[in-house]
Structure 1
Amino acid sequence: MKVRLNHATANPAALQAMMKLEGFIVTSGLDSKLYEFIKIRASQINGCAFCIDKHTRDLRKMGETEQRIYLLSAWREAPFYSDKEKAVLELTEAVTRISEIGVPQDLYERVRAHVDEAEYVTIIMAINTINAWNRIAISTGMFPAEE
């Protein structure tokens, strides 16, 4: 495999814009493990190997269990996620696949049972940000480094 181009050096201003989004989310108070779950689940749906590799490694460094990382793609069938995590993972799937069914009202209500309006918007921004990163990585040919 060969990287098509280095997006960071090709357009540093674009990278700075993305980093501002990251900075907003990181300083928002959103639980950092939940943010990594959002990143991994969206990246699984989008097929972004680079981001799946990066964010599973990041989550391991944060002390997350291998079991919860491995089962993330089957979170509905695994009893290891909280109700809030499940609602946010379902929202992540809906927003990532927004053209299919949008975000149904019942899903919005399930998420809002766990978060206030401000955190809901932060979660939406987190989902949008990783979807943008996925599209950058895939479009520029980024791939994980071999261990």
Structure 2
Amino acid sequence: MEQRMNVHAKGQNALKAMYGLNNYLANCSIEKPLLNLMYFRVSQINGCAFCLDMHSKDLRAEGESEQRLYLMDAWRETPFYTDRERAAFAWAEAVTKIKDGNVPDEVYQQATQQFTDEEMVELTMAVIAINSYNRINIAFRVQAGSYKVPSHTVPAN
């Protein structure tokens, strides 16, 4: 598929609101690797190739294993994720795929066992952000493959 337009260049004014949310999330109390794992999982659900490319590169630069990335789609069936990660994935999936007009109580209970009230709000805002970016990138067919990890995030050898 051909990209429809360079929305990231043409939509700078519109995207400023999203960038404010990014700044909030960059400074939130939830650990960045967990946010990136959750962004990756939601991007899998939504089929956003650009975001999958970006977050897989960011995660690999942070030291994430390929095995955990490859098996993310089957996180419930593998032993490779912590209880906190599992709670984040379940919450992210439930908020992304709201069913019957709500998020199930058991998913909420699981999440609140791992996250404080403030972190629950942060996690929810992160889910909202990645779903928004997925929809923008999918709508405008933003092409995957061009993302480069910023040099300040790559660990020194």
- What TM-score results when the alignment is normalised by the length of structure 2? 0.88
CA distance in 2, matches of 1:66, 1:96: 24
Q: Which runs of 5+ in 2 are unaligned?
A: 148-157
Give the equivalent residue in structure 2 for 1:114. Answer: 114
Question: Is the 1:94–1:101 contact (alpha carbons within 8 Å) kept by the matching residues of 2?
Answer: no
Q: Which has the higher helix share?
A: 1
User: How far is the alpha carbon of 1:146 from its aligned partner?
Assistant: 7.2
CA distance in 1, matches of 2:32, 2:100: 28
Give the equivalent residue in structure 2 for 1:89. Answer: 89
Match status 1:20 vs 2:20: yes
116-125 vs 95-104, which deviates more?
A: 95-104
- What TM-score results when the alignment is normalised by the length of structure 1? 0.94
Give the equivalent residue in structure 2 for 1:79. Answer: 79
- What do residues 21-80 of structure 1 show as CA deviations (whole Å, max 9, x unaligned)? 111011012111110111111111101111111101110000011111111110001101
Give the equivalent residue in structure 2 for 1:7. Answer: 7
User: How far is the alpha carbon of 1:100 from its aligned partner?
Assistant: 4.8
Identical residues among aligned pairs (%): 40
RMSD value, Cα = 1.5
User: How far is the alpha carbon of 1:17 from its aligned partner?
Assistant: 1.0
Stretches (4+) displaced over 3 A: none
Give the equivalent residue in structure 2 for 1:35. Answer: 35
Compared with structure 1, are the counterparts of its residues 117 and 135 closer, same or farther at alpha carbon in structure 2 (3 Å cutoff)? same
User: How far is the alpha carbon of 1:8 from its aligned partner?
Assistant: 2.5
Match status 1:46 vs 2:35: no
